[in-house]
Amino acid sequence: MVLGLVQNMSVFQCPKCKHKTHIFGADGVRDLAKTLGLDILGDIPLHVNIRETCDSGQPVVISQPQSDAVSLVHCT
């Protein structure tokens, strides 16, 4: 059973100016979820700190819950 979809690398936010860019497009997962009748469970942005902490086995939401990277992660 599939509970829903998570959009990985959903957006890149420049660490200097905070401009957000949808490098891989903005609505691919949303369109797929609608087609399949599934919910979107969340968005994980393209962020170096998220990648580094996940690679080390300590996701940023646990290891650094007050970091700027956590504020970019959206769960529904």
Residue 73 host element (H or E): none
Break the chain into its structural domains and give their ranges: 4-75
Q: CA dist 16 to 11, 41, 58, 67, Å?
A: 15, 28, 25, 15
Q: CA–CA separation, 52 vs 20, rounded Å? A: 20
Question: Is the full-model pTM beyond 0.85?
Answer: no
Q: Convert the pLDDT of each residue in 18-74 to its tens digit.
A: 899 999 998 899 999 999 999 999 888 998 888 899 899 998 888 988 888 887 777
